[in-house]
Structure 1
Amino acid sequence: VPIIDVFSASVYGDFAMLRKYVEEDGVSLSQPDGNGYYALQWAALNNFPDIVQYIIERGGDVNAKDNAGQTALHWAAVRGSINASEVLLKNGARVEAADVNGY
């Protein structure tokens, strides 16, 4: 799978490419992709706690919401990503944040 941006690097857990895009190319981790999803959500969904921590340290908003009102914690919960959830919670993820359906 080609890693072409911070989003695909976060999906597949390619920490080296993520760091390259951020540290060498100056790509922001606080902006969503074309579908309104954040790199932090992808890393949380696929349970990459080291990448989750890195994104937060580099400006990713732990409580940023996508177009459906879901946060990275919602995405981690869907997949049962315990380690990523722990990192999110330690960094201030809001457990009570509700999406557009009230979940």
Structure 2
Amino acid sequence: QGLTVLIRASQYGHLATTAILVEKGASVYASDSSGRTPLMWCFRFGHVRMASLFLEHGARANQVDMDGQTPLMWALKRGHLDAAPVLFQFGAEVDAVDHEGRSLLMWACQQGELLTAQMLL
């Protein structure tokens, strides 16, 4: 699966461990076999506070995984609306589309996620 120690720490929400790993040189760019980075994984499990740490150390706000999903897609599709301002600050693109040609706004409308749709407009 290609899971690094940093990815595991981001999955489990170990902020202090994550900070030490990044400080000691762990790559925020490393991805698993599906192209998912530590930034994406922290959003999957709702560890939004970690996002700033990764972004401040160079994680790409518009990196895509093998499905074309961006960190913003990972966050908002899992209900972590509080992640959006942080990602926008680091240049996350609202209009990005996945490999099936779907934008976040399309997804939000299809799913009836009104708050998410409003945020994206």
Partner of 1:9: 9
Map 1:50-65 onto structure 2 (within 5 A): 50-65=49-64
The total of aligned residue pairs comes to 99
**Structure 1 residues 14-73: Cα deviation after superposition (integer angstroms, max 9, x where no partner):** 11111122112x111012123211111111223323210110001100100001111001
SS in 2 for 1:43: helix
CA RMSD, aligned part only?
A: 1.4
Partner of 1:76: 75
SS in 2 for 1:42: helix
Contact 1:22 1:29 in 2 (8 A): yes
Higher RCO, Cα 8 Å, sep 6+: 1
Partner of 1:44: 43
Contact 1:13 1:43 in 2 (8 A): yes
Partner of 1:30: 29
Q: Which moved more, 1:57-66 or 1:87-96?
A: 87-96
Contact 1:47 1:84 in 2 (8 A): no
The one-letter amino acid of 1:54's match is: L
**What is the TM-score of this pair, normalised by structure 2?**
0.75
| Identical aligned residues as a percent | 34
Measured in 2, the distance between the counterparts of 1:17 and 1:81 equals: 22
Contact 1:46 1:76 in 2 (8 A): no
**What is the TM-score of this pair, normalised by structure 1?**
0.87
**Structure 1 residues 58-89: Cα deviation after superposition (integer angstroms, max 9, x where no partner):** 11001000011110011111111011222112
Consecutive unaligned residues of structure 2, counting only runs of 5 or more, are 103-121
Measured in 1, the distance between the counterparts of 2:86 and 2:64 equals: 17
